[in-house]
Amino acid sequence: MPKFMGFDPKVIQFLEAIKHNNNKQWFTQRYDFYQQEILEISRDLVEDLGAELQKIAPDINIIPKVNGSIYRFSRDARFSKDKTPYKSHLSYLFWQGTLKRTQCPGFYLSIRPEYIQLGVGVNHFTPDYLQAWRQQCAHKKQEKKIYHVFDRLIKSGAAIYGEQLKRMPRGYSTELLNQELIRYKGLKCYYQITLPKEVYSADFIPLCCQYYQQLLPMFNWMVAILNEFTIESK
């Protein structure tokens, strides 16, 4: 029996309002609303969406709590140029692997008043993962395969984001097919769509899964790289 029946429209209004009232006093006055209408409903979302994702990615981690699959709503200002105390969006992550969650391939979801993002990727490649990533992008038997995966996603409307080196790393030719991919130090591939009406109903789960299904080849390729360097390091 599904638990997630959609967010109340007041949640999106809350996200819009906090952009202009991003302070502890304003948030504290609405803390009960955050707990009941955002955090509790987010737990339901994680459980239901995670269960559907496990049908295509059985080994993903699903942890329906803050600092698990639910990102903290408060901002860590130590490492951000934005020093406001709270975010104005909701974020979720389902990852595969035993590294830190942001270092593993994962499915992520971000909900903002204007749009949602549904993507896969790795925020920051570890040194081992980075080496394996580059080797697989340049591998004679793999380079065309991953090129076509990215090409299909881009043609379907997906975007690619990540920090890149300005030049090719030492030891890699500028003639390689995937030279742009090789320069990434972390990478996400995602769809961004205008906030859909489904976010207010249980239909939001199948909507998300439609996009994740398209992203699955990319996720599987990144997991294969994770397995490759993990095996080699044993």
Specify the pLDDT at position 75: 87
Residue boundaries of the structural domains of the chain: 9-232
Question: pLDDT confidence of 142, banded at 50, 70, 90?
Answer: confident
Q: What is the mean pLDDT of the chain?
A: 93
Specify the pLDDT at position 232: 44
State residue 114 phi and psi, 5-degree precision. -90, -35
To which H or E segment does residue 64 belong? none
Q: What is the Rg, in whole angstroms, of the alpha carbon atoms belonging to the chain?
A: 19
Q: What pLDDT digit, counting tens, does each position of 190-222 carry?
A: 999 999 999 999 999 999 999 999 999 999 999
* Spatial contact of 110 and 100, defined as CB atoms under 8 Å apart: no
pTM to 2 decimals?
Answer: 0.93
For residue 106, the one-letter residue type is: G
Specify the pLDDT at position 222: 94
* Spatial contact of 95 and 83, defined as CB atoms under 8 Å apart: no
Within the chain, strands assigned E span 90-95, 106-111, 115-122, 159-161, 187-194
Specify the pLDDT at position 140: 87
Query: If you average pLDDT over residues 72-100, what whole number do you get?
Result: 88
Specify the pLDDT at position 230: 61
Class of domain 9-232: alpha beta
Q: What pLDDT digit, counting tens, does each position of 34-50 carry?
A: 999 999 999 999 999 99
Report the distance separating Cα 104 and Cα 186, nearest Å. Answer: 10
